[in-house]
Every structure is written in C-alpha cells, then in structure tokens.
Structure 1
C-alpha cells in the first residue's frame, strides 16, 4: 500500500514537473536590463506629458517589435488617449461665509483644490451641503443622498466607508476598504449628482495617508481623460472642516456619528462658498503600448488573456528645478513601476516562442499614477472585446528583495482565478500568501481595477509592496528581508525609488514566472474565468 502511495505521489510530482518544464521560462538578464534602463535618469521618471514618458513609449514599442510581439491594430503598438492637464493658478481664491463670518483657508495647509473639467476659469457661489460618506450603494441598502437634489451645491464628504458595527460586522466589507470609500468614487458620485463641486474631509485614519499626500498631489499638474469632470474638487484639512462646521452652527463629530447610520439625511449647512478658480490647461496625447501573441486554437484564439503593467511614474519635479533647488528632481520609479514594465518585456520575450491556445496581450498602460487613465481608456475603447477577455493579470511594484515561499494573490479570491492561482502555486512549490484586510483599498488602486469594473476578472499579482506588511515568507533572511520590504513604504513615490544594481531579482523573476504560468493556465483552459456568486463586479456586463 505504501509503495502504491509513493508511486502515485512520484507520478504526480513528475507530472507537475513536466508541466512546469513545458512552460516558457522567464530569464533574469533581460528583466534586469530593461529595469535598469527604464529607471535610469535618462528617462526622467517617465512622467505623463513629459519627455521621459515619450522616451519610455518609444522604448517599449521598439522592444515589443524586436521581441516579436504583433501589433494589435493598424500596424502600431500604440493606443492614443486624449488627456487634459490642469493646475490651479496662484490667483485662485476660495472663501466660506458662515454665521456672519467669512474666511479663506490657506491653500496647501487648510485646503487643496483644482478642476478636472478642462475649463480655464470656474466661478460660482454655492450653498454647502454635508452628505456624510457621499455613497449610493443599493446592494448595501445605503443612500446618503435620499433623493435630495444637490445640483449646483458644494458637497462636503467623509472619505472611507461606513464602519462595521456589532450588529453588522461585515457591512461594506467589514474592516476592508471598498471602492465606495475611495476618493475617486466620491468625485465620480459628485459629478453624477450634478454638484457644483466637492471637498473631502481629510484625516490620516480615514484616508490611510497623511495630509501631505493630497497637498503634494494638488500642488502639481493633475491629469484627467478629456471629457466630463468636476468643475471644482479637492480636500479640506480636518481643522478647516471643524472651523467651517462650527461657524455654520454644526457639530462635525455629531454629524459624523449620524453619517454612520442608514437613516442619515444630507445636512444643508448655514454656509456658502465663493469660488474663483483659474487654471493652466493643456491638452496632450499619451499612449498605451500593446502587443499580442496570437493563440493557436481555432476557436479560443478569439479570446485573450491580458498581462498589464503601467509604464509611467511621476517624472521630473519641474517646479523644484525652476526654483533652483539643489536636490534630486527625478522620480525614477524603479520599483513603481519600471519593475512591472520590465517584467512584461521579459515575459513577452519567451511567450512569443511558445503560444498558448488563447491569445495573449501584453499591455503597458499610460497614466496610472494620475488616476489609471490608460487602463480606463482601454476599457472604454478596447482594442480587444471585453466579452472576449478572459482575465487581466497586473504587475505593479514588484518584489525586489528576494525569493519567497509564497505569493500574494489579493483580489483573486473574488473569482475563479483564485483556484487557478492555487494550482499554479502548487506546481511551483509555493503557497498562496494569507489574506489580510485590505485597509487601504489596494485592490482599487492599480490598473487591474479598470478591468474589474468593466466585468473582467482581474487582480494585481504578487502585490508585495502594496501588501508589504512583512508577512511574506522570504527564503533568505526572512526577518531582514521583510523589514526591507516594509521599509519601501518610506521610498514609495519619492525620488529615492531608484534602481540598485545590487538588488537580488530572484524574487522578481519568481513573481513574473508565476504571473506568466497563471496566464498560461487561463489561456489553455477550456473555459473562461468567472466571478464568484454575489461578487459586486460580477454584475457588470462583460
């Protein structure tokens, strides 16, 4: 009996090994070469609307052609997207009048704001309405607007979601952040409501990041896809919000408490806002880069698996340069996301030599750092039908520390991709990393989410940095390796995110290999991945 079990185990192991051997193998040398180039000062941080971004696009399409990827449409690897750049000018003013008092918060310290509608001048006076979390979620039986007309009014909202209670510990995903809690959703909902503008109340706890993040973001040029957008949007520092509410005769904390219930009603503050917003506007064209490996199956080749990794980062701090600062002005974005862009090139290089049954698409979206603009443009005007897109496997900010015994698949549990990931991990001798609450909404912050919103099963593979709380099981020096990963949080979106030739890229290669193996698992399967029953994104038409 024992010998039979041993024989069966041996056969299973050999079968697993043979399967692994039959898949293309990602090599470290090309990955490292692409990474070191894309993160070099020469590319000036690959900024949206900057020369470095143009260089990155040219490099990616040249490499795609050299590798042997086929262009998707009209002989080009590019998909153009129209973007509007906007930056509030210093002569802009915002003031509040409440309780007979008029005050103007200091820009950068008490308030930050801008326009996303592409208009150079925005001028209005409006009444102010507090709308709690600003959420309309029928599946949660939640509506912070209650059918009240807020057109032409300034909406003030809280960020994050309604918090779980003892009676409803799992409402709005419990401790995890849902899309309703993200600032992006808040701005989208204000636009749908026809509001004159929207301001979000910032606290470090509710936003999951300090005031410096929105303050820094609004101090630079902001980008949006051309088309509809809010005429006025921004953030209020909490002390400024308290001052406004107190002057209007309201207790902010009491209203926050009411906003935690379904019975909450919008509260019209005894306050008005006077906005005079002048913006520097420019229209630019940016490009997604994409190439394909056609499938081999006569029927399944019409369906595709997408691998994605954004090419852009924050570029050059041109304001610092103009001021003559003697500091580094280049946001190289080595980990975020030269790593993912380089990995896709290394994966494509071996995938072209061994096609799968379904078509494989290698996609480098533009403008992720400015609001996932490239992936949003793709799903709005896809170069491959969304109903024929099996999955999107995204790579963003990869493991630069070393090999692990497990792999992160946060978000895969929403669909059958989790079971597929489990099979692939087992074949590679890996475990799936344990699930942890998504407190910062990481699932909604990378390009795969654009596909998920469009109904395509998708997740960010590995997500070692976004989930980098030290739980990954590193093979070498686990404690020190985990500390290095966690320490990257201080480097994230700083000029210090630079390529280091001494990096051990074995973990990055491992992550790229897992992603490619999972892609082949999906591309060769008889059926397309499916969302789990009851999953919110499963209701979106593909």
Structure 2
C-alpha cells in the first residue's frame, strides 16, 4: 500500500536527480575511500505547496468577520463576501464565465417572512402556531369549511383525488410520500401536493405531519425568515394556504373524517424581492482537446446571519453567526485552489463557483444547475467542499468517494499533504443529498463533497455547527492549510486525468449521467 501510494505520488513530480556514482576517484585526504554520492536534488514542489498559512488565515478572518454579519443570502454582508470573492478572482487572472461580463451570476430571490399568527379550530380543540401548526405557504386566510382527505394527495388515483370534489374545500393530506427518505424528498412531495390542490380548486391544504424530522426543528425553521427562489404565478400553488399539522401519534385523525368541518385562520406569509449572486471564474485548460471539458469546483459562501435568523443558539454578547467552519473554511479552499490552478493550469478547464443560498435550501447550486454557465454535458466532474466542522485533523472526509470515480486522485492528493481520506462519514445522516453537490448529481455529474475531517456527528461537531461561537479564532490553521492544499491538488489531478470520472455502476444517479453524456 505504501509503495503504491508513493509511486502514484511521485508520478506527479518532476525529478531532477543526478545519478549517484558507483565508482569515484579516491580523495586525497582519505585514500581508498569512495567519495560520497552527490545528493539527489529535491523533488520539485507541487504548485499547491505555494499556498501559505498566512493567506488561508487572512481569507478566513475576513469572510468570518463580524462585519459581514453572518453572510446571510440577500443581506448586505452576503454581497460584501461576493464582491470580495469576485475581486480575488480578478486579481488571480480568472476570466468571467463564457457569456458573462463579470464574475457575478445574479439570482432573483424572495425574502419570506413567516406568519405572525395561525389557529386551526377542530370542534372544541384549538391548534396554535408553533406548538401545533407551521404555515408553509399562502397569504391571509379566514375560512370555515368541510375537509376532504386525499391520502398522500400526490395523484389522481385511488390514494389521491379520484372521485373527490375538493373545489372550495379544505384538503387534508398525509405528510411525506411513500418513498420519502429525507428532507429533500419530503419538501418536494409537499410542493407537489400544494400545486395539485391548487389546480383542483381547494380553499387550503393541511398536511398531517408525522415524519422523522423532529417537530421542534420544523417549527424553528419555518417560523423564521427564509429566502427562496420565486414561485411563478400559479406555479406550485403560489397563493394557496398550506399548513403542516403536528400529528404525532395520529392525535388528529378526525381530520380524515368525511364531513368534518374546521376553521383555519392565518395571517399568512409575506414575500419581498431580494437579489444574491453566485461568483464564477474560469481557468482555461491547456490541452487542445480536453480544455473543452470542465471540472466544476464549488463551495457555498453564505451562512445563516444574525440573531433569530440563525436559530436560538446565540447570546446578547454574540449574536452573529460567523460560520468559520460552515463554510468560510470551504470557501477559502476554493480560493486557494483558484490561485494554484491559475498559476499552473491543468489540461481541462476549471470553472470555480462560489455558491450563494446553500443555507436557505441549496438555492445557488439549484439555480446554476438550471442556468449553467458552461454546458452541463461538458462538465465532467464537480468537486464540492462543505462541512459542519471537524474532529480529526489527520483526515479529510469525502462524501461520495466510493461512488463518483475519482477515489485514486482524491486519496493521492490528501496523502501528498499528510492526510488520510475517510469515506462516507455519518452514513445515517444521508449527507450526500444535503449539500450543493446533489443538484449537480441530479443532472448526472459525478459530485462528491470534500469535507473537513470527521467520522460522526459528535459533541465536537455540535459545539460549533450553526452556533454563534463558530468564529475564526477557533480554527486550527495548520490543518486548514493542509486541507486547502489537498483540495486544490485533488482538483488538479482530476482535471489532468486522461479519461472522465464516472459513477459507480448501479448508482442512483447513473441513469441521469447516461442521459446527460449520451453514454
């Protein structure tokens, strides 16, 4: 194993060694003794060795400073970070992406303010906002009407709307879907239900929530300000009142009863327009043929903001969620990769994209995947970097390592800077589908996430994850440096591969890859 790793590592070096002499004239001072062999010239340094601790610390301390107010999407601090990154790209000599006049891919978004009040009256029982209800969508409503239960409410079939007249009535649907295994599927199913209920003319939609995500998290998330991609007029049931009901232990099963009448009142959610931007810079490849293929490097630069925007874990003395680990850390890795790769360009072209909106629903990557700056079919790989923190400074953790076809390059890059690779940390968390990489994977692009070292979510991770104490002075910058160097070198090795990385056979995203690349 050591020999294999060493041979692979040395193959990337330029050796300038002089041969040791097997015979040499005796010296005058020591007759009969051979002169010592001439020392071998040092192995040429990898370009990534030029990255310094001072620069990674300086970038981190700026991006995670109080002045940026938690870099929340749509807020001034987020724009300051975007401008900073764009200026770094300009200084490094990166080009704007094709068709772009600058480095900013502007995204029109909406700021969504949660409902101030909501009640649901079922006979003599009153359900209240927060404890029992979460308002998911819609404006003000004060409606009394008959409920119609439609199963999961996802189809016109037997387990849905078949034979049901719901016009002007309050539709009740079971939460989730038969195959919803994580938050993404859960919310996608919810959006589909709202759209269908709206098309059927329902007055409102109630979902009976009893899913695996604890109600406390659901309540905390949806009862604070959010940012979202605007819903087009009529799309996804834009104006329909949509409420989740905390139905743990099936305590409100009477909502399924035919003819049951209820009263729903809500102040509704308000929406205002805001803008944010992804930041993209291009490094053109050197190979006449391979330069038309792209390796996409991504990291999200947004965080969760200030005070209640970021959650409950803050104090009056420190209410700014600076997000040093999540994800100034990864953003700095992206910047240093841009520096290294621009100084010594690889064979393939590299598009470096700092993404906005990850913390509010993977919005920046979702927008890019639908509005790519280079053709997706020419994008052969996405190396995303993101993380909640670290508890092991001897490793990097790579989510999707075994699935995405670049294991050798990633392991070689880590070893070059004294790190090992730990594959698939905390598998019970379903992390592959929880970062920006998933929006590229859905399109078919192999897309692992290169994360700071951890094997499980323990107290060391929880201490800083989305906490106001995640400040830049708490980082081990010796480790940050090695991480950044390893990430940049992995990107280089992947961009220099003679062939494209491919999904492991049978992976759930392999069919999308076959469709995208015509395999």
TM-score range, shorter chain: 0.7 to 0.9
Aligned pair partner of 1:218 in 216, 222, 238: 222
What is the CA-CA distance between 1:248 and the residue it aligns to? Answer: 4.8
Sort the Cα spacing of 1:181 and 1:302 in 2 relative to 1 into closer, same or farther, 3 A.
closer
TM-score, normalised with respect to structure 2: 0.78
User: Deviations along 1:96-137, whole A, 9 cap, x unmatched?
Assistant: 54xxx254322111121232xxx64467657353646x889x
1:77 paired with 2:103, answer yes
- Deviation of 1:370 (Å): 0.7
Contact in 2 for aligned 1:83/1:284 (Cα 8 Å): yes
Which range is displaced more, 294-303 or 193-202? 193-202
Native 8 Å contact 1:113 1:234 kept in 2: yes
How much does 1:82 deviate?
1.1
**Larger mean Cα displacement after TM superposition, 229-238 or 57-66:** 229-238
- Aligned counterpart for 2:486 among listed residues 481, 504, 514: 514
**Alpha-carbon separation, structure 2, partners of 1:28 and 1:157:** 53
Equivalence map 1:398-477=2 (5 Å):
403-404=393-394, 406-425=395-414, 430-435=419-424, 438-462=427-451, 464=453, 468-469=456-457
Structure-to-structure mapping, 1:522-533, within 5 angstroms: 522-533=494-505
2:11 corresponding residue in structure 1? 15
Query: Are 1:498 and 2:471 matched, yes or no?
Result: yes
Q: CA deviation at 1:421?
A: 2.9
Q: Secondary structure at the match of 1:529?
A: coil
C-alpha distance in structure 1 between counterparts of 2:82 and 2:4, whole Å: 50
Quote the residue 1:184 is aligned against: 187
Please list, as runs of the form range in 1=range in 2, the aligned pairs for 1:158-169 lying within 5 A after superposition.
158=175
RMSD over equivalenced CA pairs, Å: 3.6
Are the equivalent residues in 2 in contact too, given 1:340–1:398 (CA < 8 A)? no
Q: Does 1:290 align with 2:312?
A: no
1:60 to 75, 80, 85: 85
The DSSP-based 3-state class of the residue aligned with 1:342 is helix
- Conservation of the 8 A alpha-carbon contact between 1:356 and 1:524: yes
Deviation string 1:12-40 (CA, Å, 9 cap, x unpaired) is: 66436659944433332211111111111
CA distance, structure 2, for counterparts of residue 459 and residue 339 of structure 1: 17
Which of the numbers 326, 346, 351 marks the counterpart of 1:356?
346
Change in Cα spacing, 1:10 to 1:108, as seen in structure 2 (3 Å) is closer
Partners in 2 of 1:513 and 1:292 — Cα distance? 19
SS at match of 2:207: strand
Q: Identify which of 110, 115, 123 aligns with 2:132.
A: 110
Deviation, structure 1 residue 429? 5.6
TM-score, scaled to structure 1: 0.75
Match of 1:24 in 2: 48
Q: Which residue of 2 aligns with 1:174?
A: none
Distance 1:61 1:382, change over 3 A: same
CA deviations 1:315-353 (Å, max 9, x no partner) are 123789xxxx94533221121111111221122122210
Provide, for residues 481-537 of structure 1, a one-character-per-residue CA deviation record: whole Å limited to 9, x for no partner. xxxxx423143222222221x532233223222222221222111222222222221
* Structure 1 residues 271 and 425, CA gap change in structure 2 (3 angstroms): farther
**Counterpart-to-counterpart distance in 2, 1:499 and 1:7:** 38
Alpha carbons 1:309, 1:364 under 8 Å: kept? yes
How far does residue 364 in structure 1 lie from its aligned partner after superposition?
Answer: 0.9
Uncovered stretches (5+) of structure 1, i.e. residues with no partner: 137-142, 163-176, 250-267, 471-485
- Is the Cα–Cα contact under 8 Å of residues 399 and 511 in structure 1 kept in the other structure? no
CA drift of 1:469 comes to 3.6
Out of 46, 50, 63, the position equivalent to 2:71 is 46
CA deviation vs aligned residue, 1:246-298 (integer Å, no higher than 9, x gap):
5656xxxxxxxxxxxxxxxxxx7956563545222101111111111111111
The correspondence for 1:243, drawn from 251, 265, 271, is: 251
Correspondence 1:273-422 to 2 at 5 A: 274=264, 276-317=266-307, 326-397=316-387, 403-404=393-394, 406-422=395-411
Greater gyration radius? 2
Out of 450-459 and 427-436, give the one that drifted further: 427-436
Deviation at 1:202, TM superposition (A): 4.6
- Greater Cα offset, 374-383 or 146-155: 146-155
Q: Distance in 1 between matches of 2:345 and 2:229?
A: 34
**Partner SS state of residue 113, structure 1:** strand
Instruction: Kindly state the Cα deviation for residue 71 of structure 1 after the two structures are TM-superposed.
Output: 1.4
Give the SS at the match of 1:379. helix
CA distance in 2, matches of 1:395, 1:149: 49
